[in-house]
């Protein structure tokens, strides 16, 4: 697909008997911030490792900015793995320069970049310290710099905020927003829905290795429907049940939440309800509510158990 | 080239450690220091004249004895300073008692009692304060022996001129019979060079192979592998590590070779001043030996290190790695044991076959080249087999590496390992 930063076409990956990822298709447009959501063990990390070309899909194909994923496309992606890892015995500055050079940043330029990034995250004074002299929070920030140091057009962050204290999380979030403003494509996995809700404009939801939902966050929410209509009213409550498309009523006396049928969730449907109620009741307020991503997630995954599919696949913990 | 970035990091981070500096420069310096101290001690003891009282009971023997003991030390001082003490068999006990006191008082280092019948009995007694000074005793024995022999020949009726004509040392020269080229003089130093070369091979294959393994385990346990693999393909990462460590090993060997050459050069210069010829000190070894040493060093290292790397990728801790690497280490140890066999009988069928086996070739073929002259085709075949095995091995080890590097938890069993090979 033209214009897609990342395009996975029906990719699958099995570990022995366990299908970690099952015919997953995923498209992330250029410049999008895409939340990759799913419970633990749903195949997020396996999918990401295939996109970064650390693992090969058993079937299906992956294109990065239109090129088949391979050794060449690795330079297009900055990757923050879920399992954080740094050379503990190296000096912070030298290690970041090494990682930059590994992504083809010229040695002459790497030094300056590392210095600027370290200053940006307020670790400028630590360049000559060994990595294992740093606190865990500081190492997290170093790990983040490692992902962005080569200035790649695509960033893939696996559970990027896990283990960060609120101050540092906020600092990195600001940097992320800045990178998004620069037009970077960002794919980040998380199981924290409210985080995805705040940052993403695209979401992809997977469960048991299969995609259950994807698209623009706004569309997803719209598709999930504004299934709740909250009305403030004075009058006969029994009338509420008779309104067209109302499946159920949760009445609080002078306000009630109406559960809408899918057809009734459109503007026209709501208008019809209002038209039906207005002559007979005194309506003082009317608000159609979108479900949270968390509600959507729970509803989509539904009654299905959220335990990971089969145990024992060592690498399938994403 | 990303592999160069990896090689550079491996080399720089290793060469800059204190441990590397210590092993590379410190150990030779310490060894040289010990040798120098020993040399100084020996020299100091050799350059001191021994003060000896001589009780001569053999009539007319003092003059030849004094002549025989007239040797001079390197610094021009006489080796022995003799003090003639008169005595008769009757006064001997009293004289000896007095001398004993004087030796203890350090007036003399010792006293020599020459019996009346020394020429026929061929024995004398040297009483010394320090009986550990072996050089003094041996020198006394040799020179007294000469004096006694001379006296016996005189008695047999030979003239001093005849005796001088008969005297003189004897030297056995050894010549190595070889198929290639002419015969070359072998002064026995070749065996030492072979031991040094094979020792260097064994040590670097084993020690630096383990360095590669531990580096892989470290990257695995610190979980930086995933970051690295997001930038390079696993084969480049593995080869970069192996070549980087090989470069480190070569740097170390290079420094050692340079230091050795320096020491040898200094020794040669000293020998030249002393009038010795070059050939007496430089072992005559064929150029093929040095070439095959270098080629087999590289090939052997690549072969063993790639397997060590795969072992590193299979395990999750240093302890597990230690256990898992045992079989490979045993192969190397076996090669060293077989080296003695091959050295004793380098041309036998068994030696030829063993030296062609890729895992043994780096050591055994070098031994054969050093002690005999194997046909060139055998050397080249061994190299080709070694290279082919390495290439075949890396296909497998790179797969194990690729899968293992992301695995945590328990060590894979053999069937699991085979499955890795399938889905890598």
B2-28 pLDDT per residue, tens: 999 999 999 999 998 888 888 888 888
pLDDT in tens, B232-258: 988 889 899 999 999 998 898 888 888
Closest in A90, A102, A315 to B406, CB measured: A315
Count of C-beta atoms within a 10 Å radius of residue A161: 19
Residues A199 and A143 in one domain: yes
Q: What's the whole-number mean pLDDT along residues B66-73?
A: 79
Q: Which residue on chain B is closest to A144 by alpha carbon?
A: B227
Residues A36 and A125 in one domain: yes
Residues A212 and A254 in one domain: no
Residues A184 and A245 in one domain: no
Q: Is residue A299 part of a domain?
A: no
Mind listing the pLDDT tens digit of every residue in chain A (318 residues)? 447 999 999 999 988 788 899 999 999 999 999 999 888 888 999 999 999 998 889 999 999 999 999 888 999 999 999 888 899 999 999 999 999 999 999 999 999 999 999 999 999 999 999 999 999 889 999 999 999 999 999 999 998 777 788 888 888 889 999 999 999 999 999 877 778 888 888 999 898 899 888 889 888 877 777 777 888 888 888 888 888 888 878 788 888 888 788 778 778 888 888 888 888 888 888 888 777 777 777 777 764 544 444 433 333 343
pLDDT greater than 50 at residue B182:
no
Pairing of strands A154-158, A77-80: parallel
Residues A254 and A166 in one domain: no
Looking at the DSSP bridge assignments, the partners of residue A188 are A35, A157
Hey, which bits of chain A come out as E strands? 4-15, 18-29, 33-37, 59-64, 67-68, 77-80, 154-158, 185-190, 202-207, 210-216, 228-234, 246-251, 255-260, 282-289
Q: Does B421 touch chain A (CB under 8 A)?
A: no
A16: chain B residues, CB-CB within 8 Å:
419
Q: Which residue, B324, B304, B305, B306, is CA-closest to B314?
A: B324
Task: Report helix, strand and coil shares of chain B as percent, to nearest 5.
Answer: 70, 5, 25
- HSE-CB of A42 using CA atoms within 13 angstroms: 21
Quick one: pLDDT at residue B177?
59
Cβ of A87 and B419 within 8 Å? Answer: no
Helix (H) or strand (E) holding A149: none
Residue owning tokens 């390079």: B232
- HSE-CB of B34 using CA atoms within 13 angstroms: 5
B236: chain A residues, CB-CB within 8 Å:
71
3-class DSSP state for residue B223?
coil
pLDDT greater than 50 at residue B181:
no
* B410 pLDDT tier (thresholds 50, 70, 90): low
Residues A263 and A160 in one domain: no
Residues A43 and A151 in one domain: yes
Q: Is residue A76 part of a domain?
A: yes
How many domains does chain A contain in total?
A: 2
B423: chain A residues, CB-CB within 8 Å:
14-15, 58
Cβ of A74 and B230 within 8 Å? Answer: yes
Residues A214 and A242 in one domain: no
Quick one: pLDDT at residue A302?
65
Q: What's the whole-number mean pLDDT along residues B293-297?
A: 89
* B282 pLDDT tier (thresholds 50, 70, 90): low
pLDDT in tens, B107-120: 888 899 988 888 88
Residue finishing a domain among A175, A190, A221: A221
**Among A103-107, A269-273, B30-34, B58-62, which range has the highest average pLDDT?**
A103-107
Q: Is residue A51 part of a domain?
A: yes
Length of chain A: 318
Distance CA A46, CA A61 (A): 14
- Provide the CATH number for the domain around residue A246: 3.30.70
Q: Is residue A130 part of a domain?
A: yes
| Alpha-carbon distance B398 to nearest alpha carbon in chain A (angstroms) | 13
Distance CA A39, CA B69 (A): 98
Residues A42 and A109 in one domain: yes
Q: Does B229 touch chain A (CB under 8 A)?
A: yes
Q: Is residue A318 part of a domain?
A: no
This complex has an ipTM of 0.79
Query: CATH assignment of B48-165?
Result: 3.40.190
What is the DSSP-derived secondary structure letter of residue A125?
A: G
* B128 pLDDT tier (thresholds 50, 70, 90): confident
Residue A179, CA distances (Å) to A21, A113, A187, A197 in order:
29, 15, 12, 18
Q: Is residue A301 part of a domain?
A: no
Q: Is residue A150 part of a domain?
A: yes
Contacts (Cβ under 8 Å, ≥6 apart) of B162: B153
Looking at the DSSP bridge assignments, the partners of residue A26 are A8
B313: chain A residues, CB-CB within 8 Å:
none
Residues A178 and A277 in one domain: no
Q: What's the whole-number mean pLDDT along residues B210-218?
A: 91
Distance CA A172, CA B17 (A): 34
Q: Are B31 and B38 in contact (CB under 8 A)?
A: no
Closest in B219, B223, B231 to A74, CB measured: B231
Q: Are A233 and A282 in contact (CB under 8 A)?
A: yes
Cβ of B224 and A87 within 8 Å? Answer: yes
Residue finishing a domain among A221, A240, A271: A221
3-class DSSP state for residue B177?
coil
Residues of chain B with CATH 3.40.190: 48-165
Contacts (Cβ under 8 Å, ≥6 apart) of A130: A88, A89, A90, A91, A92
- HSE-CB of A139 using CA atoms within 13 angstroms: 20
Residue finishing a domain among A170, A193, A221: A221
Q: Does B415 touch chain A (CB under 8 A)?
A: no
What residue spans of B206-325 are helical by DSSP H?
209-221, 225-229, 234-273, 287-314, 318-324
Q: Is residue A261 part of a domain?
A: yes
Helix (H) or strand (E) holding B127: strand B125-128
Q: Which residue, B378, B331, B332, is CA-closest to B353?
A: B378
* B176 pLDDT tier (thresholds 50, 70, 90): low
| Alpha-carbon distance A152 to nearest alpha carbon in chain B (angstroms) | 11
Cβ of A99 and B223 within 8 Å? Answer: no
Residues A201 and A257 in one domain: no
**Which residues 33-52 of chain B have a CB within 8 Å of chain A?**
none
Looking at the DSSP bridge assignments, the partners of residue A68 are A63
Quick one: pLDDT at residue A316?
38
Mutation target for B interface from A54, A132, A316: give the one with most B CBs within 10 A.
A54
Q: Which domain holds residue A270?
A: 226-289
pLDDT in tens, B329-379: 999 999 988 988 888 888 889 999 999 999 999 999 988 888 888 899 999
pLDDT in tens, B135-163: 788 888 888 888 888 888 888 888 888 88
Sign of CA dihedral A266, A267, A272, A274: positive
Radius of gyration of chain B (CA): 32
A52: chain B residues, CB-CB within 8 Å:
229-230
A75: chain B residues, CB-CB within 8 Å:
231
Alpha carbon B111 to its chain centroid, in Å, reads 41
Helix (H) or strand (E) holding B8: helix B2-15
Q: What's the whole-number mean pLDDT along residues B76-100?
A: 86
Cβ of B233 and A102 within 8 Å? Answer: no
Residue owning tokens 């699958």: A12
- Provide the CATH number for the domain around residue A49: 3.40.50.300
Pairing of strands A210-216, A77-80: unpaired
Sign of CA dihedral A225, A227, A232, A233: positive
Helix (H) or strand (E) holding B411: none
pLDDT in tens, B302-335: 999 989 988 888 888 888 888 889 999 999 999 9
Residues A235 and A202 in one domain: no
């Amino acid at each position: 697909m033209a214009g897609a930063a990342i395009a996975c076409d029906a990719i699958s990956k099995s570990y022995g008997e366990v299908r970690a990822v099952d015919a997953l298709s995923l498209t992330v447009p250029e410049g999008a911030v895409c939340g990759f959501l799913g419970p633990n063990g749903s195949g997020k990390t396996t999918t990401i490792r295939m996109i970064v070309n650390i693992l090969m899909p058993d079937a299906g194909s992956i294109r990065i900015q239109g090129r088949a994923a391979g050794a060449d496309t690795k330079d297009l992606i900055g990757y923050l793995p879920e399992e954080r890892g740094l050379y503990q015995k190296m000096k912070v500055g030298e290690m970041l320069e090494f990682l930059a050079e590994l992504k083809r940043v010229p040695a002459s330029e790497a030094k300056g970049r590392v210095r600027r990034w370290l200053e940006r995250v307020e670790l400028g004074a630590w360049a000559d310290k060994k990595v294992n002299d740093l606190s865990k929070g500081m190492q997290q920030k170093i790990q983040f710099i490692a992902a962005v140091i080569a200035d790649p057009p695509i960033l893939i962050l696996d559970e990027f905020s896990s283990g960060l204290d609120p101050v540092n999380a906020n600092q990195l979030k600001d940097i992320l927003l800045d990178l998004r403003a620069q037009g970077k494509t960002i794919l980040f996995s998380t199981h924290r829905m409210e985080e995805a809700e705040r940052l993403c404009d695209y979401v992809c939801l997977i469960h048991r290795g299969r995609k259950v939902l994807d698209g623009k966050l706004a569309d997803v929410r719209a598709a999930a429907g504004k299934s709740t209509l909250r009305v403030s009213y004075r009058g006969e409550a029994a009338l509420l049940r008779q309104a067209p498309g109302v499946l159920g009523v949760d009445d609080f006396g002078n306000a009630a939440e109406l559960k809408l049928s899918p057809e009734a969730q459109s503007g026209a449907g709501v208008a019809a309800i209002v038209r039906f109620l207005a002559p007979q009741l005194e309506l003082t307020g009317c608000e159609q509510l979108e479900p949270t991503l968390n509600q959507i997630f729970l509803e989509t995954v539904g009654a299905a158990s959220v335990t990971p599919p089969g145990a024992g696949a060592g690498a399938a913990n994403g | 080239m990303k592999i160069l970035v990896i090689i550079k990091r491996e080399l720089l981070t290793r060469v800059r450690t204190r441990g590397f500096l210590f092993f590379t420069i410190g150990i030779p310096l310490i060894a040289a220091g010990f040798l120098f101290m020993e040399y100084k001690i020996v020299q100091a003891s050799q350059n001191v004249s021994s003060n000896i009282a001589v009780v001569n009971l053999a009539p007319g023997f003092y003059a030849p004895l004094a002549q025989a003991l007239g040797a001079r030390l390197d610094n021009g001082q006489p080796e022995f300073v003799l003090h003639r003490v008169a005595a008769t068999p009757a006064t001997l006990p009293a004289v000896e008692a007095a001398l004993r006191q004087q030796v203890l008082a350090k007036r003399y280092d010792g006293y020599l009692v020459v019996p009346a019948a020394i020429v026929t009995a061929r024995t004398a007694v040297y009483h010394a304060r320090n009986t550990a000074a072996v050089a003094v005793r041996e020198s006394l024995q040799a020179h007294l022996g000469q004096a006694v022999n001379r006296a016996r020949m005189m008695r047999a009726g030979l003239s001093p001129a005849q005796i001088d004509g008969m005297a003189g040392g004897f030297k056995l020269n050894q010549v190595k019979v070889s198929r290639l080229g002419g015969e070359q003089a072998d002064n026995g130093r070749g065996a030492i060079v072979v031991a040094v070369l094979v020792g260097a091979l064994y040590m670097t294959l084993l020690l630096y192979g383990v360095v590669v393994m531990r580096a892989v385990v470290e990257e695995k346990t610190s979980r930086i592998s995933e970051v690295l693999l997001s930038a390079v393909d696993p084969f480049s990462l593995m080869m970069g590590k192996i070549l980087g460590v090989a470069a480190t090993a070569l740097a170390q060997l290079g420094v050692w070779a340079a230091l050795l050459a320096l020491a040898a050069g200094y020794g040669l210069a000293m020998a030249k001043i002393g009038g010795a010829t070059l050939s007496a000190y430089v072992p005559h070894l064929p150029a093929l030996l040095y070439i095959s040493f270098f080629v087999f060093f590289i090939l052997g290292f690549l072969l063993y290190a790639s397997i060590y790397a795969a072992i590193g990728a299979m395990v999750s801790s240093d302890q597990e790695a230690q256990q898992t690497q045992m079989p490979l280490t045993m192969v190397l140890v076996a090669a060293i044991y077989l080296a003695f066999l091959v050295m004793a009988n380098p041309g036998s069928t068994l030696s030829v076959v063993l030296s062609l086996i890729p895992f043994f070739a780096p050591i055994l073929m070098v031994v054969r080249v050093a002690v005999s002259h194997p046909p060139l085709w055998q050397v080249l075949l061994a190299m080709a087999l070694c290279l082919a095995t390495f290439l075949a091995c890396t296909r497998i080890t790179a797969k194990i590496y690729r899968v293992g590097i992301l695995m945590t938890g328990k060590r894979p069993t053999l069937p699991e390992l085979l499955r890795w090979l399938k889905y890598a």
